[in-house]
Amino acid sequence: MVDVGAHTDSGDDLAQGFVQFAVESGVLRFGEFKTKAGRLSPYFFNAGLFDDGNKLGRLAEFYAKALLASGIEFDMVFGPAYKGIPLAATVAVELARRGRNVPFAYNRKEAKDHGEGGTLVGAPLRGRVLIIDDVMSAGTAARESIALIQAAGATPHAVAIALDRQEKATENGLDVPHSAVQYVRHQLGLQVCAIATLADLLLYLSDAQGSADMAAHREKVLAYRQQYGVDEG
């Protein structure tokens, strides 16, 4: 999913390539996993397992291609601590390699009282800021980044993530009818670019149904989506 709305043929190809890459890298796994919301999910996406230079480089390529195809405009990239830091750094490098050189900054969770001090590192936060992270569970990290960016006098403009789980968020322990991505898009007013979505994962599993294992995974993921999924939009 490279666009903030509809898919394109090239976007579908990019999304399918990314899902395959994530599966082959062991980042996207199937089984039974407990989510932050306490649900038992039949799949797990752990971006921390993009754990060598080759994987990070390929991941940055997927982010950069998705961003450039989305048409989202931005003046700089921001990586929220902690997983967002290497993501934003490598994406900034890849964007520059593709002719789109933009400033890069990140935050630390503990303020320094020496050296440059404070919690922000890198380029000054200015203009329209693109936040880069791995996934969204509740939108909490996005809200924290928005507050930091606004406090610095810049404009939080968009968020790029690797995978949109397209499932209901929770508030006070209860399911709500929107996802974290929909909350960020509609309530916080930021554009969201996802390399791939849960729908893309289901398509990948459908295309791989020659494998009995993949067919079984698809049925479980589909059942999970029917229970916790949200309408696209």
Q: How many angstroms separate the CA atoms of 45 and 165, rounded? A: 9
Q: What's the rounded Cα separation, in Å, for the pair 44 and 63?
A: 19
- What are 147-179's pLDDT values in tens digits? 999 999 999 999 999 999 999 998 888 899 999
Cα 85 vs. chain centroid, distance in angstroms? Answer: 13
b/e code 29-64 from CB counts within 10 Å (16+ = b):
ebeeeeeebeeebbbebbbeebeeeebbebbbbbbb
Asked whether the predicted pLDDT for residue 228 surpasses 90, the reply is yes
Closest CA to 89 of 102, 72, 73, 98: 102
Provide φ and ψ at 39, rounded to 5°: -85, 155
Q: Among 52-56, 137-141, 190-194, name the one with the lowest average pLDDT.
A: 137-141
Would you state the pLDDT for residue 111?
63
Q: What is the pLDDT of residues 102-129, one digit of tens each?
A: 999 999 877 655 545 568 999 999 999 9
- For residue 136, tell me if it sits in a domain: yes
Cα separation of 144 and 138, whole Å? 12
Residue 12, both tokens: 């579908």
pLDDT for 9: 44
Residue 77 makes CB contacts below 8 A (sequence gap 6+) with 88, 91, 92, 95, 102, 103, 104, 105, 129, 130, 131, 132
CATH code of the domain covering residue 219: 3.40.50.2020
Whether this prediction's pTM lies above 0.85 is answered by yes
Q: Is residue 3 part of a domain?
A: no
Residue 2: pLDDT over 50: no
| β-strand partners of 112 | 118
Looking from the CA of 181 toward its CB, the CA atoms found within 13 Å total 28
In a domain, 74, yes or no: yes
Answer whether residue 2 is part of any domain: no
Q: What pLDDT shows up at residue 210?
A: 61
Total tally of structural domains belonging to the chain? 1
| The pair of three-digit structure tokens given for residue 119, joined into one six-digit string | 């919690």
Q: Is residue 233 part of a domain?
A: no
Give tens-digit pLDDT for 26-79.
999 999 999 888 899 999 999 999 999 999 999 999 999 999 999 999 999 999
From residue 222, alpha-carbon distances to 42, 170, 199, 202, 228 in Å are 9, 20, 9, 7, 10
User: Does residue 20 lie within any of the structural domains?
Assistant: yes
Domain span at residue 64? 9-228
Catalytic residue numbers, as ranges: 112, 114
